[in-house]
Chain A
Amino acid sequence: MGWQLIYDLYLLPNGRLDEFLSISGVSIASKILSFTGFSIQAEGRIIGCVGARAVEINNGCNGLQLFGMFSGFIVSYPGIWKNKLILLVSGSLVLFLVNGLRIAFFAVFNSIYPEHWDLAHDTSSYIFFYPVVLTFWYICTQMSSEDSPLDQLQT
């Protein structure tokens, strides 16, 4: 909750971190698509397959909001801080790369099924981000030697 407030009140209006993530995400996506043989056009926040509608990565659509949720669990769960730090850094890196993959998916999807863009956009988090977040959370619970917080609750 605190992260979201910081994001809405400072990071989003400031825009620098969002801009960095959007532009670098497009850069990663263009490398992925070029490597896999797609003809693409990319500039700044905009990427698309040649001859098709392009997509623009706006602030707030680059996975930055999800970072608060991801890190909140890892920070809150009982465990050794060294392990938490490793998970936070590695998880953030993986989320960053997955965001590039997600943008690449958007570019290709929008060139094939532009009429279903809303569906792809709305469900992309569930396909790309949540599996990563849940995997890292699971690793976090396995790395922790202490009992789960729910063990202290009455049933």
Chain B
Amino acid sequence: MYFGLIRPVQEQLNIHLIHPMFDDILKDNKDLVIKSIQDDITIESKKDLFIDVRVSIPFGAYYFLVLFILFGSERKSLMRWMHAYNLVLFIISSLLVWLLLSGSYWVAPVINAHEIAYKALFLSLGMILFVKEMKSVPLGTSIFSSSRMG
């Protein structure tokens, strides 16, 4: 469902809604190269004023990976935390990109560090939850047919 429906929608949003927001900036600043690649926005400087930056749209693949594993589990507080974090990212990511485009180039490594931390965090959560669910299911039954999974 994610790769068949959600991701294509995110890609279209990226191309037709998010990327055009940078049109005016690109007209004024010829040094910048901003591209929409799948569900990411990449920002590069031709003069290498800052390192290449890649910003993902919140509620991406890693979020859905964990959501799929958590679906039907008893960890409601964790799910709420995940939703909230991704919602807050709409503000935080926009703010960081605005700072970068305003000339605060120091923010570029922070954006990249957050991107990798986000991936690592959600992938780690997915792995830990998967192992936990596997341990809680008796041998010979599927985790998807377990009562814990709804």
Which residues of chain A have a CB within 8 Å of any CB of chain B? 1-5, 8-9, 12, 60, 65, 68-69, 72-73, 76, 118, 122, 130, 133-134, 137-138, 141-142, 148-151, 153-155
Contacts and interface: CB of A to CB of B under 8 A. Distances in A.
Contacts of A73: 120, 123-124, 127
B74 A150 contact: no
Query: How many interface residues does chain B have, given as a range?
Result: 20 to 34
B119 A153 contact: no
B131 A4 contact: no
A12 B108 CA distance: 13
A151 B115 CA distance: 26
B51 A12 contact: yes
A142 B113 CA distance: 29
13 contacts: A1-B117, A4-B115, A5-B110, A68-B120, A122-B37, A133-B123, A134-B123, A137-B124, A137-B127, A150-B125, A151-B132, A154-B77, A155-B74
A151 B128 CA distance: 10
A106 B132 CA distance: 37
Contacts of B74: 155
Contacts of B115: 4
B61 to A, nearest CB: 9
Nearest to A9: B109
A151 B59 CA distance: 25
The binding surface of chain B is classed by DSSP as: helix
B45 interface: no
Nearest to A150: B128
Nearest to B117: A1
B128 A4 contact: no
Given A65-B116, A118-B37, A134-B127, 5 more contacts: A2-B113, A4-B109, A130-B123, A137-B127, A150-B132
